[in-house]
Each structure stands twice: as C-alpha cells, then as structure tokens.
Amino acid sequence: MPCQPVLYQHMKVSLSNIVATLSRAIRLIWLSSPVLALWHAILTALQAALPLLSLIALKQMIDTANSLFKAGALSGLSLSTASALYAGNAEFRALILWSLLAAVCTVTAAFLKLAIAWVAEFHSIAVTDAVYQKLHHTLVKADFAFFENPDDQNHLYMAREQALSRPMRIIGGLSQLIQSFTGLAGALIILMSYAPLLPLMLGLSVLPTLYFKFNRSRRFFVWRSNLIPLERQADYFHSIMTENEGAKEIRLYGHGELCQERFQQARDLLKAQRAAWRKFVMTYDAVAMTVGFIVLGAALLLLLHKTLQGALTVGALVICVQAIRRGGSVTALISSAVSSLLEDSVFLQSYEELINRAPAIKAPVAPVPIPVPLQRGVVFENVSFSYQGTSTPALKDVSLQLNLNERVALAGANGAGKSTLIKLLCRLYDPSAGRILVDGIDLREFDPAAWRAHIGVLFQDFNSYQLSAEDNIRIGHPQIPAGDPLIATAAAHAGLAPLIKQWPAGLKTPLGRWLHNGIEPSMGQWQKIALARAFLRPAALYLLDEPTSALDGTAHRETLAALTKLSHDKLTLFTSHRSLPPGLADRVILLSEGRVVADSTPEGLAANPAFNELFSNACWQN
C-alpha cells in the first residue's frame, strides 16, 4: 500500500526552525495559563540549581574533612567531644554547616519534585483545554470543504489525535530545557574554574549526539507524515468494528474478517515503518554514545593526571568528575529536548495552521443586511460548480428562479446535482462560475452566518445526536431556552407528538445508547426529529433534501401536509423520489448531469419523456 508523504516535506532542521518551534511551544504554554507557566519555570530552575549547590557542598565537605583528618582533629571523635570541637574549631563548624547545606538541598529537591509534579499536572490540563478550545472554535467555523479534503483531514488528524498527549510532552520538553540549561551552566562554571580544557572536551563529547538527533528530527517530519494516511486507515476500520454504526451490518454480512484484515494490513505496514525507524535511531545513537564515551574517558584521565600531580584536591577531583557526568547528561538531555520539540513541531505546525486558517467563505468587510422577509426570491444565474479534485462539474450553467411563497421540488437521478444545489444555496460552497441572487443581491455580499440563520434545512445525511429529544430539536434554534413551547410545537409539526407521549420523560428523554441508557429511535423517527429542527428555526427559506426518505407512507403524507402549512409566505425547496400529494409542489425542476433539463408544474412534467424515463411513471403520480 503506497503512501506518499503529504505533510511538512519542506521543513528542515535549522536555527530558524528551532527558534520558530520554541516560539510556538512557549507561546502555547504561556498563553494557556501564565501563572502556572511562571511557577513551573521558577520551580524547575530551582530544582536544577540544587544539585549544583549540593556538588559545591560535597566538595567543601570532602576537602574540609580531609584537612581535619590530616590535622588529627577527628581522631577519637565522640558525641561528648564533638560539642567542644564545634566551639573551638572553625573547620569543624564549616564541615557541619556544609553537611547541613547538602542535607537541606536533598530534602528541598524532594519537596520541589512533588511541587513540580502538582504544578505540571494542572498546567498540562490547562494547555490541553486551551488546545481543545481553540481547535473546536476553529473547526465549528471552518469551511465545509475542509471536511471533504483528504489533505486537510490529515492535518486535522495530527492535531486532533495528539491534542491530549503532545501538550504534556511540550511542557516536559520545555521544563527539561530550563532544568538542563541551568545545570549545564553550573557544570561549565565549575569545570572552567579547575581545568579550562574540560568544558571544550565536554562539548566535543556531545557533538555527535547533537548532530544525529537533529538529523533524526529532519527525517522524522517526512517519516511521520507518511504514517498519517496509514493511521487514519487503521482507525477507520477500527471504528467500523467497534462503533454502533457498523455493528448491524457486520453481523448480517459477516464482513468483520475483511475489516480485521484491512486493519491488520495497515498495522503491519505501520509496524514495519516503526521498526525501520527504530533501527535507524538505535544505530546512530550507538555511534554517538561510543564517541562520547571516548572523549569523556580522555577527560577523566586528564583529571586523574592533575590530581596525581597535586594540582587538584580530592574534593576538587570529586566535584569535577560529578560535574563532567552531570554536564554530559544534561547536554544529552538538552539535545533530546530540542529534538523532541522539533518532532513536536509537526503537531505544533498542524495545530497553528488549523487555528490560523482563514475561511474561504467569509463575511465581506461591509456585509449587506439580509432582506427579511424576502420580497422576490432567489435567482441562479449561469451557476456552475466543481468539487475540489474532480474534473466533472456537479452543476453546469444552471439558471433558475425560486419565487416567494412557492414550493419547488427538485427531481433527478442520484448524482444529478440536487444536493449540490442545496449546499450552494446554504453557502457551504461558492459557485465556480455564475452567481446566486437573493432579492437581487449577490449571496456573497451577505454574512454567511446571518444568511444561514434564516434557513431551515434538512440534509439527506442528517445527524442523530446523543442528547435528549428536546436538545436534539433545540439544536435547530439554540438561541431559545430549554422548555420553550416552540420546541413542542415544532415536534408536533414533524409528527412527533404521539411518539413523545410514549417516551418515559417526554421531550426530556435521552436518545441513543452510546452515552447513556436512552431510547434508540428508528431511522424514520430520527428523520422526524431532524425535520423538527428545521421547523423550529425562524426561517424565511426551507431547504429539505429528501425530507421523507426514511418515513412510511402515512408519516410521509402527514409530513408533507405539515410542510404545506408551514411554507406559507416562505420559499421552500425540497427533493423527493416519491409521489407527492396533489397541490404540494407548485413547480418541479428536473436536473440531469448537473443541468436543468425541465422546469414546469407537476402536471406539465407528466408528459415529459425524460421525466417518465427517469421515474418510470411512479414518482409523481398522485
């Protein structure tokens, strides 16, 4: 299964990239909670400084104790003589004080670790909440086309699936950088004071590790982008086998093994990719560590030579060895933290690209007020439209007029362009050519949100929400409060009143069984609920895509009768593949391959050859 890299191939490891990544990470961490971020940084720096202070105390303890031993002051020491020695010997008092300082550093470090863990947990929660808040705010306002573009979905997958784990990793990486830089600065100062050559040798020991990790980060971008389509494929088949939507068909058709096979194929490819990546990482890490050990060994030999010559005390030797070990470890941690942040930049860039994405369909600088109530209607002028990535237009040079107080039915085979026309009228897309006029005003001159607020719409693929019946309907007009009588009225218009009376809590009854132990309506009942949402909205325009496709004959007639009543003084456009009661549709517009091939009354179309061939004399007969 070939997968081409689709993301971040342009990203290179460079100083500017590192700075940009750190800037993104710091901005994300700081803006989520400035107070927690500040405390986290202060506590982390203190935690990093304490081991260095402990090293200094240890060095002074060793040198002072060694001096006392040489002077014989500690021979025969007991509790009874210690008090007198403390009072009369300054070196002994210094030994006690340095020992106490080392103990205080150890205890303080332990408590700091607890405090940092507490702050880090709540800080990571704040960061994750901020990530989700901005992501959700962006997605609910994103263009509808965003959700139909596979490349955009790869970006979304990266940001959405890692929104929980990545913020915590970023906090850990930045915390590690603060702690490591503090520790490195102290180690270099200590080494410089005893042997100026040692900081240079320490730097040489970690250069191979830095190089290989930065090189790994550069390769990681492309490697990670290759995995995203495979991960999405595995998640897709996983969802089919584990979620309610696919459960019935799997048991009836028995295609569970097919889904397992496709899932495992994706997982096997992922495993092979990860194994190859791990081999690459381990090989280069082993080479880097070998070079580092050789350089560190040379540094230790240098220290031993200076000690044997008397240039270093025993305490100085101990502190230098510890400083080399600590400097080597913190330098490696710095390279790991930067490398990790560079890898996290895949998430950070996906996230920032999403939240900074400017919608293509947006309000003009000075939007025209919506003409409500409508006075004339809607006109399509030579409208054509093609979906992204397709060469065949969904609509071709469509011109038609929808008049006020008129119920217009769209007819046509599947793929004729009916749903596309409704999407354009909702301004989920803009025409590729031509224009749509509302009372003579181009639809693009309105604020899209303001225009949609006056549309009652039912899509063919309507949603079923795991909420109460009341909330399912109130979604159609969320500005009204819970319990508003208009909700019950809309339910009655959609034919739900008898059904709601049977439910244990009426409109408060929870629907669906995914989040709670609620009632699971039938598909036809769900469609009535979706229709009630459209009826609840204070609409000037009803757009109903197959409004009765899941209803039985009686419910079909009742719903269309309610539609006849509610559409008074409004413009109503709907599609249907079933016969209509007399008088429901004033006009029928017949679409074929994206073009208008007929526009007449139902009676006028009854003799149309194309109409009869399409519906086999069954669809519009009364």
Residues 127 and 246 in one domain: yes
29-40: pLDDT as tens digits: 888 889 988 898
Q: The tokens 């895949």 sit on which residue?
A: 346
State which residues form the domain around 462: 455-538
- Boundary of a domain, candidates 515, 538, 561: 538
Total Cβ atoms within 10 A of residue 3:
15
- How far apart are alpha carbons 444 and 426 in whole angstroms? 11
Q: Is the entire prediction scored with pTM above 0.95?
A: no
**Of 355, 382, 398, which residue constitutes the final position of a domain?**
355
Spatial distance between the Cα atoms of 413 and 285, rounded to a whole number of angstroms: 62
pLDDT at residue number 440: 92
Q: Looking at the structure, tell me whether residues 435 and 470 fall in a common domain.
A: no
Q: How would DSSP label each residue in 366-410?
A: SPPPP-SS-SSEEEEEEEEE--TT-SS-SEEEEEEEEETTEEEEE
Helices (H), 520-579: 523-536, 553-566
- Confidence (pLDDT) at 509: 93
Assess whether 237 and 104 both reside in one domain: yes
Query: Beta strands 433-438 and 587-592: pairing type?
Result: unpaired
Backbone angles phi, psi at 13, to 5 degrees: -80, 115
**Secondary structure (3-state) at 272:** helix
DSSP SS3 for 437: strand
What Å distances lie between residue 502 and 68, 132, 392, 510, 524, CA to CA?
Answer: 93, 39, 49, 13, 16
Mean pLDDT of 149-177: 73
Averaged pLDDT, 487-493: 91
Alpha-carbon gap, residue 355 to 307, rounded angstroms: 59
| Residue range 172-207, pLDDT digits in tens | 777 777 777 777 777 777 777 777 777 777 777 767
- Strand, coil or helix: 220: helix
Q: What are the pLDDT digits (tens) for 525-561?
A: 888 898 898 889 888 888 888 776 666 667 667 767 7
Where residue 534 sits, what CATH number does that domain have? Answer: 3.40.50.300
Instruction: Count up the domains in the chain and report the number.
Output: 3
Domain's final residue, options 325, 355, 385: 355
Position 559 in a domain: no
In a domain, 9, yes or no: no
| Span 420-436, pLDDT tens digits | 998 999 999 999 999 99
On whether both 351 and 377 belong to a single domain, the answer is no
Helix or strand or coil: residue 87?
Answer: helix
Question: Does residue 555 lie in a domain region?
Answer: no
